[in-house]
Amino acid sequence: MAPDNASTRTHYRTCPLCEATCGLAVEVEVERDRVLRVRGDAEDPFSRGFLCPKGANLGALHHDPDRLRTPLVRRDGELVEATWDEAFAAVAEGFGRVFETHGRESLGLVLGNPTTHHLAPAFYMGPMIRACGTRQIYSASTVDQMPAHVVSGLVWGDSAAFPIPDIDRTDHLLMLGANPMASNGSLMTAPDFPGRLKDMPKRGARLVVVDPRRSETADRANEHLFIRPGTDVFWLAAIAQTLFAEELVDIGRLEPFVDGVETIRELVSDFTPEAVADLCGIDAETTRRQARDLAGAAAAAVYGRIGAHTVEFGTATAWMCAVLNLLTGNFDRPGGVMTSSPLAAGIDDGEPGGRGYRVGRWKSRVGGHPEINGEFPAASLADEMETPGTGQIRAALTVASNPVRSFPNSERLDRAFGALDFHVAFDIYVNETTRHADVILPAPSALEEPAYELTFMTNAIRSFGKFDAPVFETDGPDEAEIFARLTLAIAGAGPDADPSQLHDELIGKAIDKLVLQHELDREKIEAELDGLSPLEKQLDLKLRGGWQGDLFGARPGGISLRKLAEHPHGIDLGPMVERFPARLRTESGKFDLAAPHLVEDWARVRARFDAGAPEGLLLIGRRHLRSNNSWMHNVPSLVAGKSRCTLFVHPDDADARGLVTGSRTEIRSRVGALEVEVEVTDAMMKGVVSLPHGWGHGTPGSRMSVAAANAGVPSNVLTDDRVIDTASGNGVLNGIPVEVARA
């Protein structure tokens, strides 16, 4: 915070809206507690002044009159304002009633994307999940990155250590199913992607984008290849086949630590560039050239995201990306893919090896889906809510999630949420999902909370840390207190249980750990933490115990909350560094390139390969810089102008159906149908149509006036909850068979 003049003050913050974590300068009018302006923080060494229109509208979001500030409790069928004490009493009573009759397994927990951008959930989510005592746990991860967790977990033993493309130093970036010009990057925290992209040609680096749409990123690439949705796995297998056939495999430094190369050679042996050409829509010569370019680059990275993960073979695709990075010696090499070293984590530089990673420790009740990371597939949530019997979901806790817009076959989920016995939502709006709730606990605005990007610094291309104090005070309890009270109420400790019970327990455990690990003095630690809030204490303990931490004086000059507070623009400790083989946590202490779970899953890939290309149109999604999943359509300046919720159609497909730009069409899938406006564009691959997700507002009972006036249609009415990537439980959101006809 810097004093500007008597009437305004500038706070330096990290934008909580996407994974890019841009530094913001938030100018506040002191007298009226209003945000005047949000700019990029030019002195932030990581984001270098970059921001996008969403970050610039953080003030509008904070001041949005529809954003909830008071708890709502359902009385006589109507959601009405209540005090916090009344709301927690309703929570304790409601859950108590359902647990008594149906047991704790009848509680479904649904965790949404914004939880990953907040500090409190990083500490309180675990205890809350344990208090729930249910295995019915669902999150946005199974409509997103679960395949990457499975591959990281099985191949190098750490499901949270993602391979991050080192875009500032790479010579060759092969990008599949990602559009960072709109999304600003995912599983790659690299603020100012446009600026970093601009720097690539200056050092002779090349970008190749593989995408069924010529996206905003493809537009700026050296080369763009159209690919049939859902077929990346075959194409990547053909690249691997070429590397083997042309003797281009060169694992390099990590060679002694890689098991399973021969199995991979056999698996891909008949996936030749010719054999996959029709299936993928990419000719054999192009594929061979791509394989040679990849192998020939001084340092290259293969990177796949949403379009590579939320498909039928999402895990196999993520696996093939890892295979190519390893086979070309680009795994854990500067300019290749590397793992991050977040300041708040301990780094074990000892011997490779560990406990490994397991999936399927238990199975879901209805579909028999294996748990993955302790979760069941989002696509199976409706099954578990609608299928009667012991363990049927009768109550739900949704935390920053809008499954009725974000999960596959959303119409079915809408009905299922409407039929629950009890539902508590922790959210900022009454929207398509929370309108069904019996209690809504309003989350404080992001500007009312302290911030440190614990989650996304684990995917960052640099080791960076920044702590922001709240800009505004909240009228109600802070987020840590809400989580603590909620946890205690669910645990059965009653609505009035003192939240400091839980705070003290968590802080005590964190201190115990530090004392034990580093032989530190407990009294000294407690004295130094004095005066901090419970949340700040837990963060400080994490930072000071991290690999760059000051260990409460034992490592002078190290990182602490106090030190971060002295650097309001953040502290940058450099790019990613080599961490393997020490970071290997498989039981063997090696890369298990042919992990059995992945090899077994190859049978599905094989079956589709043998069956050949299916006929008909396929639907994919689309992100826009001014949207954020399903919840940022209530900010007027972000939805101004012409509707973005249109169906992109290739000119030939449009002609064949008598469609022109502006005409309306009916689009139909196995599970649902929608009517939507058409935009004819040669940016689409022939045979592929694209509709953005997260729209479809104005549902009766929701209270988002701006969004209602810019409603759009909900694309997940069309996505099919019966088709999943079984190896990870991930939903399939791209490559949906559809029929399109003039409305």
Ligand X SMILES: Nc1nc2c(c(=O)[nH]1)N[C@H]1C(S)=C(S)[C@@H](COP(=O)(O)OP(=O)(O)OC[C@H]3O[C@@H](n4cnc5c(=O)[nH]c(N)nc54)[C@H](O)[C@@H]3O)O[C@H]1N2
CA proximity to 37, closest of 69, 62, 70:
62
Interior/surface letters 468-498, b for 16+ CB within 10 angstroms, e for the rest: bebbbebebbbbbbbbbbbbbbbbebebebe
CA proximity to 169, closest of 458, 584, 456, 462:
462
Q: Rounded to whole angstroms, how far apart are CA atoms 722 and 724?
A: 6
Give the shortest CB-143-to-Mo ion separation in angstroms: 7
Other Cβ atoms closer than 10 A to 401: 30
Residues 689 and 698: beta-carbon distance below 8 Å: no
Tell me if 726 contacts ligand SF4 by CB under 6 A.
no
Residues 492 and 133: beta-carbon distance below 8 Å: no
Tell me if 455 contacts ligand X by CB under 6 A.
no
Instruction: Work out which of 435, 734, 737, 740 binds ligand X, going by CB under 6 A.
Output: 734
Tell me if 180 contacts ligand X by CB under 6 A.
yes
Tell me if 22 contacts ligand SF4 by CB under 6 A.
yes
Give the shortest CB-186-to-Mo ion separation in angstroms: 6
Tell me if 696 contacts ligand X by CB under 6 A.
no
Per CB under 6 A, which region of 17-25, 553-561, 573-581, 649-657 contacts ligand SF4? Answer: 17-25
Determine the size of the site formed for ligand X (CB under 6 A).
61
- According to DSSP H, which parts of 546-649 are helical? 561-565, 596-611, 636-639
Residues 384 and 409: beta-carbon distance below 8 Å: no
Packing angle, helices 314-327 and 596-611, rounded to 10 = 110
Residues 232 and 177: beta-carbon distance below 8 Å: yes
Tell me if 287 contacts ligand X by CB under 6 A.
no
Tell me if 213 contacts ligand X by CB under 6 A.
yes
Tell me if 167 contacts ligand SF4 by CB under 6 A.
no
Per CB under 6 A, which region of 10-18, 149-157, 470-478, 493-501 contacts ligand SF4? Answer: 10-18
Antiparallel, parallel or unpaired: β 172-176 and 206-210:
parallel
Tell me if 628 contacts ligand X by CB under 6 A.
yes
Q: Which is nearer to ligand SF4, 186 or 310 (CB)?
A: 186
Give the shortest CB-713-to-ligand X separation in angstroms: 12
Binding mask 360-399 for Mo ion (x = CB under 5 A): ----------------------------------------
Among ligand X, Mo ion, ligand SF4, none, what binds residue 21 when CB lies within 5 to 8 Å by partner kind? ligand SF4
Tell me if 714 contacts ligand X by CB under 6 A.
no
Determine the size of the site formed for ligand SF4 (CB under 6 A).
12
Phi and psi angles of residue 109, each rounded to the nearest 5 degrees, phi first: -110, 130
Among ligand X, ligand SF4, Mo ion, none, what binds residue 242 when CB lies within 5 to 8 Å by partner kind? none
Instruction: Work out which of 54, 435, 485, 597 binds ligand SF4, going by CB under 6 A.
Output: 54
Give the shortest CB-225-to-ligand X separation in angstroms: 9
Instruction: Work out which of 23, 55, 108, 114 binds ligand X, going by CB under 6 A.
Output: 114
Query: What contacts 24+ positions apart, CB below 8 Å, involve 226-229?
Result: 226/281, 226/282, 226/685, 227/176, 227/280, 227/281, 227/282, 227/685, 228/279, 228/280, 228/281, 228/613, 228/618, 228/685, 228/687, 228/688, 229/307, 229/311, 229/618, 229/619, 229/620, 229/688, 229/734, 229/735
Q: Which is nearer to ligand SF4, 51 or 366 (CB)?
A: 51
Per CB under 5 A, which region of 139-147, 194-202, 480-488, 495-503 contacts Mo ion? Answer: 139-147
Tell me if 208 contacts ligand SF4 by CB under 6 A.
no
CA proximity to 594, closest of 330, 379, 362, 323:
323
Give the shortest CB-109-to-ligand X separation in angstroms: 13
**Residue corresponding to tokens 């891909």:** 268
Q: Looking only at residues 546 through 575 of this chain, which bind ligand X when binding is defined by CB under 6 A?
A: none
Q: Which is nearer to Mo ion, 144 or 449 (CB)?
A: 144
Q: Rounded to whole angstroms, how far apart are CA atoms 474 and 608?
A: 54
Residues 70 and 81: beta-carbon distance below 8 Å: yes
Instruction: Work out which of 13, 44, 55, 94 binds ligand SF4, going by CB under 6 A.
Output: 55
Which DSSP symbol is given to 161? -
Cα atoms found within 13 Å of the Cα of residue 658, Cβ hemisphere only = 4
Cα of 90 vs its chain's centroid, Å: 31
Binding mask 306-345 for ligand SF4 (x = CB under 6 A): ----------------------------------------
Tell me if 720 contacts ligand X by CB under 6 A.
no
- According to DSSP H, which parts of 103-231 are helical? 120-132, 146-156, 180-183, 193-202, 216-219
Radius of gyration, CA atoms only, the chain: 25
Q: Rounded to whole angstroms, how far apart are CA atoms 62 and 69?
A: 11
Structure tokens at 456: 């996304």
Instruction: Work out which of 25, 26, 35, 51 binds ligand SF4, going by CB under 6 A.
Output: 51
Q: Which is nearer to ligand X, 550 or 653 (CB)?
A: 653
Instruction: Work out which of 147, 165, 281, 307 binds ligand X, going by CB under 6 A.
Output: 307
Tell me if 227 contacts ligand X by CB under 6 A.
yes
Instruction: Work out which of 17, 282, 397, 564 binds ligand SF4, going by CB under 6 A.
Output: 17
Binding mask 184-203 for ligand X (x = CB under 6 A): x-x-----------------
Q: Which helix (H) or strand (E) holds 232?
A: helix 232-245
Rounded alpha-carbon distances, angstroms, from residue 283 to 219, 238, 275, 288: 21, 11, 10, 9
Tell me if 21 contacts ligand SF4 by CB under 6 A.
yes
Among ligand X, ligand SF4, Mo ion, none, what binds residue 305 when CB lies within 5 to 8 Å by partner kind? ligand X
Tell me if 52 contacts ligand SF4 by CB under 6 A.
yes
- Point out the residue whose Cβ comes nearest to ligand X: 307
Residues 324 and 294: beta-carbon distance below 8 Å: yes
Tell me if 144 contacts Mo ion by CB under 5 A.
yes
Residues 732 and 720: beta-carbon distance below 8 Å: yes
Give the shortest CB-220-to-Mo ion separation in angstroms: 22
Q: In residues, how long is the chain?
A: 743
Per CB under 6 A, which region of 14-22, 101-109, 358-366, 666-674 contacts ligand SF4? Answer: 14-22
Q: Rounded to whole angstroms, how far apart are CA atoms 576 and 381?
A: 38
Give the shortest CB-626-to-ligand SF4 separation in angstroms: 10
Instruction: Work out which of 13, 18, 117, 176 binds ligand SF4, going by CB under 6 A.
Output: 18
Tell me if 601 contacts Mo ion by CB under 5 A.
no
Interior/surface letters 73-83, b for 16+ CB within 10 angstroms, e for the rest: bbeeeebeebe
Tell me if 61 contacts ligand SF4 by CB under 6 A.
no
Q: Which is nearer to ligand X, 218 or 254 (CB)?
A: 218
Binding mask 574-613 for ligand X (x = CB under 6 A): ----------------------------------------
Per CB under 6 A, which region of 11-19, 316-324, 332-340, 393-401 contacts ligand SF4? Answer: 11-19
Instruction: Work out which of 184, 217, 241, 290 binds ligand SF4, going by CB under 6 A.
Output: 184
Q: Rounded to whole angstroms, how far apart are CA atoms 599 and 592?
A: 11
CA proximity to 609, closest of 320, 237, 128:
237
Residues 636 and 59: beta-carbon distance below 8 Å: no
Q: Which is nearer to ligand X, 82 or 175 (CB)?
A: 175
Q: Is the peptide bond before 614 cis (omega within 30 degrees of 0)?
A: no
Q: Given the rule CB under 5 A, which residues bind Mo ion?
A: 144
Q: Given the rule CB under 6 A, which residues bind ligand X?
A: 18-19, 112-114, 140, 143-144, 176-180, 182-184, 186, 210-213, 215, 227, 229-230, 232, 305-308, 311, 400-403, 406, 426-429, 431, 443, 446, 620-621, 623-625, 627-631, 693-694, 715-716, 719, 733-735
Q: Given the rule CB under 6 A, which residues bind ligand SF4?
A: 15, 17-18, 20-22, 51-52, 54-55, 184, 191
